[in-house]
Amino acid sequence: MGIGTSIFLIALGAILTFAVEASIGGVNIDVVGWILMAAGVLGLILTALLWGRRRESVATTEQPVEYRRVEESRDVAPPR
């Protein structure tokens, strides 16, 4: 779940919890809103943790196998 999806779930849950006054038979819309907000917050936390791990740098101690010297040769004399 990405950051955008998490924020969308939080916003949708807040709308259902605080702004909607309708009732559906057998479904409490306030509870659905709280569940969506909790899922959004959990997704936001997990996404932040995964992004933090992804940004860690890995240091290697191995040296390159060999160094090569590159020399440039010109067949034409440089301009005066």
Is residue 73 in a domain? no
pTM of the predicted model, to two decimals? 0.62
Read out DSSP for the chain?
A: --HHHHHHHHHHHHHHHHT----BTTB-HHHHHHHHHHHHHHHHHHHHHHHHHHT------PPPS---------SSPPP-
Per the domain annotation, does 31 fall within a domain? yes
Please indicate, yes or no, if residue 67 is contained in any of the structural domains. Answer: no
Q: Is residue 59 part of a domain?
A: no
How many domains are contained in the chain?
1
Answer whether residue 43 is part of any domain: yes
Structural domain containing residue 47 = 3-54
Question: pLDDT tens digit string along 52-72?
Answer: 776 656 666 676 667 778 787
Identify whether 69 is part of a domain: no
User: Each residue of 13-49: pLDDT tens digit?
Assistant: 999 999 988 888 888 999 999 999 999 999 999 998 8
Has residue 60 been placed in a domain?
no
